[in-house]
Amino acid sequence: MSHSFGFSPESGTVAPEDGADNAFPVRDNAVQDNAPDAEAAAVENGADAASEAPGRRRTAKLLANHQVLCSTRFRNAVEGLAERNGVTLAEILESAMILATPARLEAIADPGEPEPGDLAVTVVPLANGQSRTFRRKPCLKIRGPMGLDPALIRRLLSFALALDNDDEWRLVPVAEVTRPYHQIATLERRIHALVDILRQQYPNVTEEPPRNLRQATALMGFPNEWCIDEAAINKRFREMARVFHPDTGLAACAKRMNSLIEARKLLLRFINTSRRASAAS
């Protein structure tokens, strides 16, 4: 659905109709065009009160000629965009006003006025066969809603240029935007399922640390404490740490990792004590 923009004296904004949320500030010192031009614009846009639907009021566009100072590079880019698409600068501005909500414009910076040395050179032939050279600041002459600030016009045109560059902005269907989120949700469900499977492989690893040797042996998956040595304990600990380590584990859990550490300490202490007792005897 297309939207038209009109000037509201009460609010001081140029706002789209049909309930759109775009609203652009205007200058209070804007000069209104002649009334016949406004009436002609109203007729061209079908603003006939008798033909409007009940309860709906349309506002005629009040247009003005804007002379917007800008850099030569920016002017050439905007004019090139209009030429490539076979439209006028006014049509680009109007399209940008429809698409660029205030929230979207927050990401667009004002390209600013031209630098002091940035001058446009115009050579005008004279009747006597000679010519005269004029040097002026480059600008864009564009017709649009009256009262628009030059900085806002530059930002709107910058928005149009950004839309023309697929590397910066793209208009895409909602389904294309939301598809990655659905894919991420699917991956998260699969990861949770994998974590549950890994935890089922180590059912004895609980968040409560072991209190005795029997609990430590069961937690690390050994049948008893007499069939293990220090190498077997460290190997099993490394395997289980890859699952439960709080930073790198697939089923990361700090409390279960602490239980593993405590179980390893108990088993190693038992191995060392048994070794010393055997050496003493």
Where are the chain's structural domains?
5-40+60-171, 202-276
Q: Is the dihedral of CA 103, 104, 106, 110 positive or negative?
A: negative
pLDDT in tens, 87-131: 999 999 999 998 888 888 888 899 999 998 898 888 888 888 888
Tokens found for residue 207: 């968040």
Residue-wise pLDDT tens digits, 16-71: 444 444 455 555 444 444 444 444 444 344 444 444 444 444 455 689 999 999 99
Q: What span, in angstroms and rounded, lies between the C-alpha atoms of 101 and 59? A: 20
**pTM value surpassing 0.85:** no
- What's the rounded Cα separation, in Å, for the pair 102 and 99? 10
The CA-CA-CA angle for residues 98, 99, 104, to 5°, reads 130
pLDDT tens column, 211-238: 999 999 999 989 888 888 899 999 999 9
Is residue 262 over pLDDT 90?
yes
What's the whole-number average pLDDT of the chain? 78
**8 Å CB contact between 254 and 198:** no
